[in-house]
Amino acid sequence: MSVVVVATITPQPEHAQAVREAVLAAVPQVHAEEGCERYALHEARDGSLVMIEQWAGPQALAAHGKGEPFSELSRQLEGKLAGTLELQVLSPVPTGDDAKGVL
């Protein structure tokens, strides 16, 4: 079963552009990772970046967390965030229309 993750990245104001560029550069590399079903960047009104992720399963998510794209991104973000990276790992609750009720 797929695993959905919501990652919120809040840059320090003076590093907002550098953080955005680092995340954008990482996206194509993550898309190429085995088990990556969705890795979609969004921007919140407060300037934080929100990544909606979907992985083929827990093993794929674990491999991503140990992989080079994530490690490199973490290095690039070091000292540029307003707080720690917020991660929510979600379990689906299928509801309603099968095509619309689950990511």
Look at residue 75 and give its three-state secondary structure: helix
Q: Tens digit of pLDDT for each residue in 56-92?
A: 999 999 999 999 999 999 999 999 999 999 999 998 8
**pLDDT higher than 90, residue 39:** yes
Q: What CATH number is associated with residue 81?
A: 3.30.70.100
Q: Is residue 97 part of a domain?
A: no
d(CA 35, CA 47): 29
Task: Identify the domain containing residue 21 by its residue range.
Answer: 3-90
Note the pTM of the prediction, 2 decimals: 0.90
Our count of domains for the chain comes to 1
Q: Is residue 95 part of a domain?
A: no
Q: Is residue 46 part of a domain?
A: yes
Q: 20-42 burial by CB neighbour count: b if 16+ within 10 A, else e? A: bebbeebeebbeebebbeebebe
